[in-house]
Each structure stands twice: as C-alpha cells, then as structure tokens.
Amino acid sequence: MAWTGSWREDRRPGRPRPGPVGRSAPGRCRLVAAGRGAAVGAAGALLRCRPWGRQRARGRRQRSPTGLGPGRPHGALGWGAVPERAVGVGGCTGSRSARPLAAGPEAERARPRQARPAAPMEGTVQLLSREGHSVAHNSKRHYHDAFVAMSRMRQRGLLCDIVLHVAAKEIRAHKVVLASCSPYFHAMFTNEMSESRQTHVTLHDIDPQALDQLVQFAYTAEIVVGEGNVQTLLPAASLLQLNGVRDACCKFLLSQLDPSNCLGIRGFADTHSCSDLLKAAHRYVLQHFVDVAKTEEFMLLPLKQVLELVSSDSLNVPSEEDVYRAVLSWVKHDVDTRRQHVPRLMKCVRLPLLSRDFLLGHVDAESLVRHHPDCKDLLIEALKFHLLPEQRGVLGTSRTRPRRCEGAGPVLFAVGGGSLFAIHGDCEAYDTRTDRWHVVASMSTRRARVGVAAVGNRLYAVGGYDGTSDLATVESYDPVTNTWQPEVSMGTRRSCLGVAALHGLLYAAGGYDGASCLNSAERYDPLTGTWTSIAAMSTRRRYVRVATLDGNLYAVGGYDSSSHLATVEKYEPQVNAWTPVASMLSRRSSAGVAVLEGALYVAGGNDGTSCLNSVERYSPKAGAWESVAPMNIRRSTHDLVAMDGWLYAVGGNDGSSSLNSIEKYNPRTNKWVAASCMFTRRSSVGAAVLELLNFPPPSSPTLSVSSTSL
C-alpha cells in the first residue's frame, strides 16, 4: 500500500516556493493511509518531525526546521500532517508529488537532496562556537538592591506575611527575610511549630524597641549601637542569635570600660554569656584595681566576688596596702553585716608584704582586725616574716609570694621610623618596671613620618611614608595577641602628620600628601570603622604634632612649605572649629608634643636653621608659654610621650644622625635624665603608651630592617 496526498502551493508574499520535484495541487496536505506498512513509515516521519511539532504546539507561526515553508499551529494541519514534505513508502522522505518514488536510477535522480541547515530566526545573529568560552556576570549590588526593595515593601505593608507582637507593639515583616537572617526565626518558621502556620506571633522577654531595630537590621544590615540601647539590644540580639549585632554591642561596651563601670559591664557580660567581653572586663578590673576599689560598684559586690579579686595573683597594685584598704572599705560600707567576713578577707591580703610600720601602725590598730583571733594569728605571721628574715624560707606561704604584677602598668611603644639607609616596619616596647626594651610584632607596612596614638587597649599607626609614597593606610596593634591588623584607610594620604586620641576617637591633622602641605583633618571611629572629615585648620602644617588637653585638640608648630611655624591652634569638638592660641616662644617643626599634669609640653624640633634641645610649656589657664629645662641632646623628628609622671623623648635626629637614645623629664625637679636606649636608631618615629597587665608578649619576633633609603 502507498500514501496518497495532495498539495496546494503557498503563494503568499515572502514564502518560499516548492522545489522542482513534484507538482502543486489544490487543497491542503491530506494524508490517507494506503496500508499498515505505510502507517509505520508515517509514524517514523512524525517522530522525526517532533521538534517542528513542538513549535506548532505552542501555537505560533514559525519557520519550519527545513526552512522550505511556513510553520503552522496544530489547528492548521492537525497532529497527523507531515510538514512541507510528503512521506514515501516505509517512512522515507518523498517528493512533493502525490506519487510514490519507484526504484532505480530515475528514482535516485528524483530523490531530493539533503536539506540545508536551518536559517537563523529573524532578529538573531550567528555566533562562533568556542570551547570553554563564556562570560560570567556577578552583580555586586544585586543583594543590596533586593533588600532595599524588600525594606520599602515592608514599610508599605506589601506582601508581609507575619506580624510580631511584643508588649503593645506590632511589627510587620516577611518570614523569608527574618528566617534568612536569624536562626531563631528560621527554627520558628521552618520546623513543625505552630508559629510556622500563623500570621501573628507574640514574643516575650524582649524589648519592643530593640526588636524593631533588629527587624530593621535584617532588611538594611545597618544598626547604631549606643549607650541608649546597648543594654536592651544585646540580650535581644542574643535571643535572635544575631551574632554580628551582639558582637557590635560587646565592642561598644568594651570601649566604654572605665573604673566606675567595669564591674557592672563584667556582670552584664557574665549574665549574657559574652565570654570575650567578660574576660576583657575582668582584666580591666585587675589592671585598674586601685581606682575600681574606690567606686560604688565595688562597695556593692557580693563577698564571693571580692574574695576572687583580692586573692588574684594578677592583681595590679603598687603596694599590698591598697588591697588592705580596699578590703576594709568594703567591710565598713555595711559593717554590721560584713564584719563576720573579716577573717576570710584578711587571709587573701598578703600581710607579710606590708611594711612593719604599716602592720603596727594600721593593721594592729584596726579594731575590726584586732577583735578576731584568726586575724591576730595572721598579724603574728606577718610580723615574724619581718622579724625573722633568716626563717623566711620556712615561713613562706602563698601570702608571702608577691603578686605577678611586674608586667602590669604603662608600656611605651616605639613604632616604625627610619635611619640613614632604612625605613622600619619593626616596633619595640619599653617596660618601666623592668627598665627593659622588648621587640614586638612588626607592622605589615614599613612607616616613617608616621602618626601613632592609643585608643582603648589598641595602638594605631596612621599614614606615614614607606620609601616610595605617602600613605593613607592604617593598622592597629593588639597587645594580647601581639599582632597588627589592618584598619580602614584615611580619606587622604598623609605623612608628617599629627595624630591624637580623644574620647575614644582617633584624630589625624595636617601632614603632606606627596604634592602639598595639608590643613585638612579627619577623625576615625574604631567602633564603626569610619573616617569623617572635620573642620580644616587655618594654617597648612606638615611635620606637625597634635595632643589633647582638657577635651580639646592642639596642633603645634609645623612647616607650611615656606617657613617653620610657632603658631598653635586649638580644636573644640563640640563646635567643630579651630581657634588660635598663644604662639610658642620659638619656631618649631618636627618637635615632640605631650601633655603632663595639665600642661602642654613641646620639646626640640627644627627652627629652620638647626635642631633644637629647648623645651617650653603651655598653661591653658594662664594662656602663655614658659621655658623649662632643655633636653640633653638636640632632637627633631622624635616623639614625646607622658608616662608614670615623666616625659619621654624617643629617638629622633640630632642634625647629623638618627638616634636610639631616650631621655626623660621630671617636672618636679625640672631635669632631664637618660633612660635605656632602644635597639634601633629611629628618626621620624611614632610613640604611644598602652596600659598592659601582662607584658612582654609570649613571643618576640626578630628585628627586620629595610634597605629602603629614607
């Protein structure tokens, strides 16, 4: 049996004409089965036409895969029609004639040639096939823009599918956003909990305002932590398991540590299981125990915590007398209730370490001690320790062992600088208790003409010159881990700048950007990691030094590209303005500046003709400068710091070579005396002081000296 069918030629404009084989006949394509074998062949042809059939199934007029004629939707030809070409016996492709092809040479000549590849569709281009060649697209703003859009939708109440009820407040949100940011909400909305099917959920034990701020944070990734919300925000963030916000709260509280509140912060951290903050606050209490013991927080401590403090080997006290006085003050704050605890407390006081005069004149005379037999035994033990020195080995107990506080107290750091042939990235630190210098971790960048200051318990190295260019980069030193970490860079490159810390902020003023002297200034907030421009100075100043006094910033001397300056400006943060104050007695650039006992000191520097050793002091109350004793050595490009009631002049240049010498000034005697020298000669050096409990660090890296010319 064979297929029969008829064709009608499509003569519409733009349509391809049939090929030369076969002839046109009126009527649309109609296929009639002439036998079972032909049906099988037709089925095979239909299978081969499946891609075309799928195009028709979508009901669009498209070009056929062969490119010989128009495609049609199913409604035009139906499922049984074969497009454009008839099908021969056995499913072979036939001509456009209704007759089947016969076998033989004539049939071979009449058999149509293989169809050419389909022409590209209208509006497309022909591309080259290259193995492995592709283009990846990654939009860095996609997530930001998406969350901004969702935040706007929440504000308008669009597509919100959850309402959080806390106290009398209602907070609308999207479950998917909350669940993606908070493990607490993820568990609530995805597990088999009743809240997962509800559109209203009531929360307990969380502050409404804190919850509202945290929901807003889930959409914006921004939140402001301050003294007004930190105590409600931290427990709320802990509940919702928003660890980033929780860490920000801890960081803020860490910056707020003070003798007046460190015990409260320590207790707050313990309540909310903030282990790092707890450790830091406890270290602070030990480090500042003398001041802490005078506060109301200490007087309200329970017995257990007082015993823990006064028994610590790491308690940082100049003398055991401070521990004794602290214990008595705590008992006398509520003497009727606490007098019974005196024997237990006195066992923690290391009475043998008190002087004999103090034991007899104060301890033995104290009625609270004298009336307890156990305390009298402790007093006798202490007196024996003094009266029988040859038996101290036998009498030795935990109460005769000095506390491990040798490393506690101020430590002077000398950072970077340079010499004739080198710029340094290494640093060293001076311990006044042992009168020794120690090598500490090196900075990641070599820096001379650098500004250095301490904020909280970290040291900051700001800007400087690396031998090639002036720097905007900043890094900070953590004395606990003995490592330097990168910080956010300044907005302007600055070397020869002045840097100081005030109210937990880091200020950078003046300097040189590689092209000109600067009068601009900016400040850095370590909590937020942001630099902000502040009012510019009235004078451009490089080789300027900056110090803080009475809540104000002082920019002293410098060089304005034409002359060395004697002028001084004062910055008041409250009004964001610089005002001139009395000029120095001498012109000075590259001088050392520091504050000691309410006065501003300026030492050394360069007046344009030579290095100076003269020193002068400014009193804000008098509004005038006066000369004090000169240094023993002429110095410029050095640094000056106050520590333990002394001024320390660190390194510098004497006009012919870089210095590693140190000298210190005693304001009570008005004299300069030599101190221990550094390991390395350092001019254009930065210096600052940190209060440390445990020093030196466990490991000391080796010195690294640059071969870069300064």
90-92-98-102 Cα dihedral, nearest 10 degrees? -80
- Model pLDDT, residue 391: 60
Helix (H) or strand (E) holding 391: none
- Model pLDDT, residue 405: 55
How far apart (Å, rounded) are the C-alpha atoms in residues 132 and 314? 64
Side-chain-facing half-sphere of 9: CA atoms under 13 Å: 13
How far apart (Å, rounded) are the C-alpha atoms in residues 511 and 47? 81
- Model pLDDT, residue 240: 94
Sign of CA dihedral 67, 68, 74, 80: negative
Backbone dihedral region for residue 45 (phi beyond 0: left; psi -120 to 50: alpha; all else: beta)? alpha
Which of 546, 590, 550 minimizes the C-alpha distance to 568?
546
Can you list the pairs that 663-669 forms with residues at least 24 positions away whose Cβ atoms lie under 8 Å?
A: 663/631, 663/632, 663/633, 665/601, 665/603, 665/615, 665/628, 665/629, 665/631, 667/596, 667/597, 667/628
How far apart (Å, rounded) are the C-alpha atoms in residues 635 and 642? 17
How far apart (Å, rounded) are the C-alpha atoms in residues 91 and 114? 16
467-469-471-475 Cα dihedral, nearest 10 degrees? -40
- CA dist list (Å): 279 to 62, 226, 697: 74, 21, 17
| Single-letter amino acid, residue 531 | W
How far apart (Å, rounded) are the C-alpha atoms in residues 419 and 427? 14
Backbone dihedral region for residue 529 (phi beyond 0: left; psi -120 to 50: alpha; all else: beta)? left
- Model pLDDT, residue 122: 73
- Model pLDDT, residue 107: 54
For 301-356, the DSSP string reads: --HHHHHHHHT-TT---S-HHHHHHHHHHHHHHTHHHHGGGHHHHHHHS-GGGS-H
How far apart (Å, rounded) are the C-alpha atoms in residues 376 and 367? 11
The three-state (H, E, C) secondary structure of 161-210, written as one string: CEEEEECCEEEEECHHHHHHHCHHHHHHHHCCCHHHHCCEEECCCCCHHH
- Judged on CB neighbours under 10 Å (0-12, 13-18, 19+), 640 is buried
How far apart (Å, rounded) are the C-alpha atoms in residues 61 and 70? 7
Which of 92, 99, 89 minimizes the C-alpha distance to 22?
99
Considering only CA atoms, give the Rg of the chain: 42
- Model pLDDT, residue 707: 32
- Model pLDDT, residue 117: 59
Domains, in order of start, for the chain: 1-112 (no CATH), 147-256 (3.30.710.10), 409-692 (2.120.10.80)
Give me 307's structure tokens.
């015993």
Helix (H) or strand (E) holding 70: none
- Model pLDDT, residue 19: 47
- Model pLDDT, residue 476: 97
pTM of the prediction? 0.51
- Model pLDDT, residue 315: 86
- CA dist list (Å): 665 to 624, 628, 647: 21, 10, 5
Contacts of 327 (CB under 8 A, 6+ apart): 306, 310, 345, 346, 348, 349
- CA dist list (Å): 641 to 545, 644, 682: 12, 10, 15
Q: How many residues does the chain have?
A: 710
Which of 610, 601, 669 minimizes the C-alpha distance to 635?
610
User: In angstroms, how far is CA 672 from the centroid of its own chain?
Assistant: 41
Give me 20's structure tokens.
């030369």
How far apart (Å, rounded) are the C-alpha atoms in residues 661 and 412? 14
In the chain (710 residues long), the average pLDDT of successive 10-residue segments reads 46 50 42 41 44 43 44 42 43 44 54 59 78 82 87 90 91 93 92 84 93 94 93 95 95 94 96 94 90 95 95 85 94 94 93 85 89 87 73 65 66 94 93 89 97 91 96 94 95 98 90 96 87 96 96 96 97 94 97 97 96 97 96 97 96 95 96 96 96 69 36
How far apart (Å, rounded) are the C-alpha atoms in residues 231 and 575? 30
Q: SS3 for 45?
A: helix
- Model pLDDT, residue 280: 92
